[in-house]
């Protein structure tokens, strides 16, 4: 996989650990050297990108797209 240019500075290379598919949105867990990154994306995108456990990906995080919750 080669990304030649992108303006997102927070990039985490990793491997998909788990995909939990829902009817509309899916949860994708990516294992990176920094820990697990979880993304919620459309199930359609999961299928179009061929996201399956074991696939190498790059998680791109923009500050405007990060949400926090307390527990």
What is d(CA 47, CA 36) in angstroms, rounded to the nearest whole number? 21
Q: How many CA atoms lie within 13 A of 28 on its CB side?
A: 26
| pLDDT tens by residue, 1-43 | 566 777 767 788 899 999 999 999 999 999 999 999 999 999 9
Inform me whether the pLDDT recorded for 66 exceeds 70: no
CATH class of 10-62: mainly beta
Note the pLDDT of residue 35. Answer: 94
Would you state the structure tokens that stand for residue 24, as one six-digit string? Answer: 């509309």
What is d(CA 23, CA 32) in angstroms, rounded to the nearest whole number? 27
Alpha helix locations (H) across the chain? 43-49
Inform me whether the pLDDT recorded for 71 exceeds 70: no
Beta-bridge partners for 71: none
Note the pLDDT of residue 1. Answer: 58
């Amino acid at each position: 996989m080669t990304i030649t240019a992108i303006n997102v500075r927070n990039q985490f290379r990793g491997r998909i650990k788990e995909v939990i598919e829902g009817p509309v949105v899916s949860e994708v867990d990516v294992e990176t050297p920094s820990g697990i990154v979880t993304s919620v994306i459309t199930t359609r995108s999961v299928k179009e990108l061929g996201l399956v456990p074991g696939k190498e990906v790059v998680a791109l995080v923009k500050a405007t797209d990060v949400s926090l919750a307390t527990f």
